[in-house]
Each structure stands twice: as C-alpha cells, then as structure tokens.
C-alpha cells in the first residue's frame, strides 16, 4: 500500500495530490484540523471560517480516502492518524511548519507546489544579480515560462505597462460598473463550521475579530474555478487601468479576489496566468489589463514567496526604523465606526466585514498609517496575518515587513511606500466627505496622512535623505514654516491613541 500523504490546510487543490508531484493515485490522505492554531492567534472570523470550510470541503471530496483528524496539535493529530507509519508531505508554506515536519520521524518532505518558480531556480537567478528587484525577476519569469512573449520579446514591445495602470477613478463615478465578482453559496459544511466556531467562542476556547457573514470566497476547487472563469470573462478587461484606484461605493473594482483561492492551493498560478493570456489572444481584454494581472501573479506573488525563504529567519525581526509603537485598541478591534478619517474608516469597515481589501488600501492607507505612526513592524505583520482571509506567514513577511513598513531598510523595495493625503485624494473619492482636508497639515482639519507624512520624514530624516528616491521629499521639510506646530500636533495625536 502507498505511503500516507499529509495535506496542510493550504494544500487543498489537485496539484498537491498528483502523481507528477510524487503522490501515488491510491495514497491514503490525512488532513489535520489543529485547534492550537486558532488558540494562538485572534483571527478574523471570516478567515477561520474559510480555512475550516475549505479543509472540510476537501475531506468531503476525498471521501473514504482521507482520515480527517481534529486534534490539539499537528503532532498529536498525525500520531493518531498514522501511528509510526511513513508519511509524505509537500514542503509547507511557513518556516514553523517546515521545522515541524522535518522534526518528525518518518515524514518525507516533497518539493513545494502551488508556485511557478522552484526555489533552486530562484537561487540560481539571484546569484547572478547585484540587487534583487521584482522587475528584473518578473522579466526572467516571463522569458523562462514564455509568458506574453513573441520571438523572445515581450508582446507589444514593452515589459511594463504600469503607466497605463495607475489611473485615478473616473471623475464623479461612484462605481466602476464592473460585473460583480463570483459569490459562493454556503452549504451544510459551512453551517457546521459556523456552529463549531460559535461553540468554541462561547466556551472561551478561542476568540475572533471581525464580523461573521456569508462566506465570500471559494472553499473548494469547483467554486475557485467558477471564480477564476468569472473574473477572466467579465472582469479582467477592466483590471488594468484602475488597479490602484479606490472608491468608497465600489471596494472590489475590477480586482480578481483570487488571492485566498491561490493561497489555499485551490487554484494554480499557472492556470490563472495562462487563462488571462488566452483571453488576450482571443482579443477579449486589452494588453495593459492582462499584463497587469500576469505581473501580479507571475511577478509579485512569486517574488514574495521566494523572498520569504531567501531572506532567512532573521528577516522577521527587521526593524530598520526602530519603531516600537503598539497598535491602538480601535485598530485591533477593527472599530471603523470610531474613525472619522474617511479613507481609514472605509477600508477598516471593509476589513471588519470581509477580511479583504485590495492592494492599495493595504499599502497606502493601512500600512502607510502604521508606518507614519511608528508602530512595531512585527505587531503590524501579525495584525495583517490575522485579519486578512488571504494572510499566511510567507506572504505577510515580505509584504508587511518589507514593502509596507520598510523595516528591512530597503532589501525589498527602493523606498518606503507612504504618502500625504494628496495621493489618497487623487486615487479615491474618500476625501470629499471627510472632516479633514488633504491639503491641510496643521489645525483641526489637518489630514492625518499629510501631517503624518511630514512627521515621519522629519523623524527619519537622517536615514532617508541618503536615499536618492527620498532626498527631494526630505528637503521639502525645509520649506515648511509650520513644522514645529505640525510636530507638536502629531505628537499629541500619537500620545492620545484616539482614532483620527
């Protein structure tokens, strides 16, 4: 009889049970639901629901082939399911899980699945680089996997269409008018999950943050394929131009909402990018939208996955700015109603209600606010990990520590991503109904992002003025007549810990 194969909760698609990947067709399967995972962290309720629902849906699909164990820990669950018989498992997605599987007798670790580039290929590419830059890596992936290429050159004659993909939302528009994203229908498995989560919470065993509501993201392969198909057919064409825009009345715009399906292993990145390229070849979506989407998956997602392993364990503790501030209660509780700043209130409400928001609110509203306020990057990383349905250790560390908090001092990006209110005003419709004014930096109506931006530059002037991409901004401090008043105002804001 074939060796038992162990599936983690983010290895739920067919790519993780394939003969090509070293798992025989008749191999028995074990899936372990570990309660300790939920006890350790206060997850968003929607995330806990999605992960459990997806694991239980996979178990239902596999029927008699699977042993589904509910245990306190993975170690205990595995012992109960297989005793001391040998087990295979695909390379897990976190360092902690990799250390665990390597420490267990009789467990053979098979190569990672669910990504386009193998670790050894990334290491070989990185050896030839002077600095690791996403753009260079992305072009390498495009060439190596023949993605959007013609006779060795990028289709359309250019690699990068970002300049076409940074449009502000159309003037006066309340929505982009894109077709609605796929909406799953809950079933009896979801009912059981909801009942269990209620019971555990009532018993004081676990605690959640965020609101419960109908499940919004796919929990099995069939749903994930429907979501992908719907995006490719009805939403991809509009993806590019307004990728960075934000609208209070249309929070999903043309984004794919596929991150949780990809990160649960329900979708494979290759089928997503090949599907998008096929839509372009059929003339049903413009190149800027298709290239923009391919860049997100074959570029950013792959890059982030590789950096997680490449940078090593110490990366987690990076804190280049020496930020130690703690997250205030309103932030931890996702108390959107307490917030007057419309950008933060809108985004926080979306996170509270769905556990998701798109890239720019994560980077330029939530992450930027945390950076400007000097909060501990490890605490910010943990918050993102717990509160987002697509949050996992591998994707959080580079995105939060590196990209959003610049805590690695520039190993991942060339400058900190943060801005004053002018950027948010240009890219959204948040500022009009806001009690603050994006062009005011001092006074009762001073925008916390505008004032926070200058205060951040002032605090780190010593290190930032040596960064060629920040020098001009830092020198702008010298033109501010009201800098002292601004710094006093922001110091008071930070001391009060009240929401803006």
**Binding residues for ligand SF4, per CB under 6 A?**
341-343, 421, 424-425, 430-431, 434, 436-438, 447-449
What's 69-91 look like in SS3? EEECCHHHHHHHHHCCCCEEEEC
259: contact with ligand FAD by CB under 6 A: yes
Closest CB 344 distance from ligand FAD, rounded Å: 14
Query: 60 with 23: CB under 8 angstroms?
Result: no
- Dump the DSSP string for 21-32: GT--TT--EEEE
362: contact with ligand FAD by CB under 6 A: yes
447 binds, among ligand FAD, ligand SF4, none (CB under 5 to 8 A by kind): ligand SF4
> Of 4 and 357, which has the nearer Cβ to ligand FAD?
357
66: contact with ligand FAD by CB under 6 A: no
> Of 341 and 396, which has the nearer Cβ to ligand FAD?
396
Tell which residue, 126, 128, 127, 160, has the closest CA to residue 142: 160
Query: 81 with 232: CB under 8 angstroms?
Result: no
> Of 34 and 372, which has the nearer Cβ to ligand SF4?
372
Closest CB 46 distance from ligand FAD, rounded Å: 13
449 binds, among ligand SF4, ligand FAD, none (CB under 5 to 8 A by kind): ligand SF4
Query: 260 with 218: CB under 8 angstroms?
Result: yes
Query: 30 with 69: CB under 8 angstroms?
Result: yes
Closest CB 23 distance from ligand FAD, rounded Å: 24
Q: Using alpha carbons only, what angle is made at residue 181 by residues 178 and 280, rounded to the nearest 5 degrees?
A: 65
Q: What is the rounded CA–CA span in Å between residue 268 and residue 165? A: 25
User: Phi/psi of residue 216, each to 5°?
Assistant: -105, -10
At 82, list the tokens: 């297989």
Residue of the chain from 12, 52, 117, 257 that contacts ligand FAD (CB under 6 A): 257
430 binds, among ligand FAD, ligand SF4, none (CB under 5 to 8 A by kind): ligand SF4
Query: 274 with 298: CB under 8 angstroms?
Result: no
> Of 74 and 384, which has the nearer Cβ to ligand FAD?
384
What residues numbered 297-316 form the site for ligand FAD, per CB under 6 A?
A: 297, 300-301, 304
296: contact with ligand FAD by CB under 6 A: yes
- DSSP state for residue 138 in the 8-state scheme: H
Give the binding site for ligand FAD (CB under 6 A): 255-259, 262-263, 293, 296-297, 300-301, 304, 358-359, 362-363, 367, 384, 388, 390-391, 395-396, 399-400, 403-404
């Amino acid at each position: 009889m074939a060796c038992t194969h162990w599936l983690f909760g983010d290895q739920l698609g067919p790519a993780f049970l394939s003969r090509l990947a070293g798992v025989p067709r008749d191999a028995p399967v074990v899936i372990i639901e570990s309660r300790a995972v939920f006890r350790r962290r206060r997850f968003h309720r929607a995330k806990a629901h999605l992960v459990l629902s997806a694991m239980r849906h996979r178990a239902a699909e596999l029927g008699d082939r699977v042993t589904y164990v509910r245990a306190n820990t993975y170690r205990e669950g595995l012992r109960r399911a297989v005793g001391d018989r040998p087990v295979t498992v695909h390379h897990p997605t976190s360092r902690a899980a990799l250390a665990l599987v390597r420490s267990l007798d009789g467990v053979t670790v098979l190569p990672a699945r669910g990504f386009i580039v193998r670790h050894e290929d990334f290491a070989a590419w990185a050896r030839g680089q002077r600095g690791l830059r996403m753009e260079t890596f992305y072009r390498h992936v495009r060439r190596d996997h023949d993605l959007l290429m013609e006779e060795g050159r990028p289709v359309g004659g250019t690699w990068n269409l970002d300049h076409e993909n940074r449009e502000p939302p159309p003037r006066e528009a309340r929505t982009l008018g894109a077709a609605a994203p796929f909406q799953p229908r809950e079933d009896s498995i979801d009912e059981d999950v909801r009942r269990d989560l209620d019971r555990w919470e009532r018993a004081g065993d676990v605690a959640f943050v965020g609101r419960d509501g109908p499940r919004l993201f796919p929990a099995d392969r069939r749903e994930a394929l429907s979501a992908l198909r719907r995006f490719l057919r009805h939403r991809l064409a509009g993806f590019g131009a307004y990728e960075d825009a934000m609208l209070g009345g249309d929070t999903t715009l043309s984004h794919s909402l596929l991150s949780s399906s990809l990160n649960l292993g329900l979708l494979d990145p290759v089928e997503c990018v090949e599907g998008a390229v096929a839509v372009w070849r059929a003339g049903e979506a413009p190149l800027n939208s298709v290239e923009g989407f391919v860049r997100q998956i074959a570029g950013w997602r792959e890059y982030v996955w590789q950096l997680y392993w490449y940078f090593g364990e110490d990366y987690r503790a990076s804190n280049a700015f020496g930020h130690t501030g703690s997250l205030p209660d309103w932030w931890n509780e996702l108390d959107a109603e307490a917030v007057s700043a419309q950008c933060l209130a809108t985004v926080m409400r979306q996170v509270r209600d769905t556990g998701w928001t798109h890239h720019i609110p994560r980077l330029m509203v939530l992450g930027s606010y945390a950076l400007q306020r000097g909060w501990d990057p490890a605490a910010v990383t943990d918050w993102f990990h717990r509160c987002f349905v697509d949050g996992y250790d591998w994707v959080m560390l580079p995105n939060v520590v590196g990209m959003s908090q610049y805590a690695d001092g520039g190993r991942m990006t060339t400058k900190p991503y943060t801005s004053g209110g002018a950027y948010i005003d240009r890219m959204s419709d948040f500022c009009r109904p806001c009690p603050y004014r994006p062009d005011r930096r001092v006074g009762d109506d001073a925008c916390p992002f505008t004032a926070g931006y200058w205060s951040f530059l002032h605090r780190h002037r010593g290190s930032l003025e040596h960064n060629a991409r920040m020098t001009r901004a830092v020198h702008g401090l010298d033109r501010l007549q009201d800098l002292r008043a601004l710094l006093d105002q922001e110091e008071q804001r930070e001391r009060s810990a009240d929401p803006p």
